Amino acid sequence: MALNCLKFLVIFIEKLGSLRAWFLQPNVRMEERNRHSKSGINQILEKYRRQFRIDENLNYYSKANYKIAERKYLKYVLEYGDVSKTDQ
């Protein structure tokens, strides 16, 4: 009985080691999924950046202040929604 338990334990530990190696190896599908979700976020950000890049803003802000204002605009739009839509 004790010998069977010992064999089971050895087999279990070997399997656990192979499971650990399986979890640690890079998962290509997960990386692709993360890349696609990031590209969706990037697309949304680019859409709002284009909305912010109007002549009025480009001519008004210096380069450093433009980046700060753009970030504030992006943060506002992502938090409260699209400002170009009006509620009627």
Give the tens place of pLDDT for each residue, 36-88: 556 788 888 999 999 999 999 999 999 999 999 999 999 999 998 887 665 54
- Assess contact for 73 and 54: CB atoms under 8 A: no
Which class for 18: exposed (0-12), middle (13-18), buried (19 or more C-beta within 10 A)? exposed
Q: Who's near 48: CB < 8 A, 6+ residues apart?
A: 73, 74, 77, 78, 82
Predicted pLDDT at 64: 92
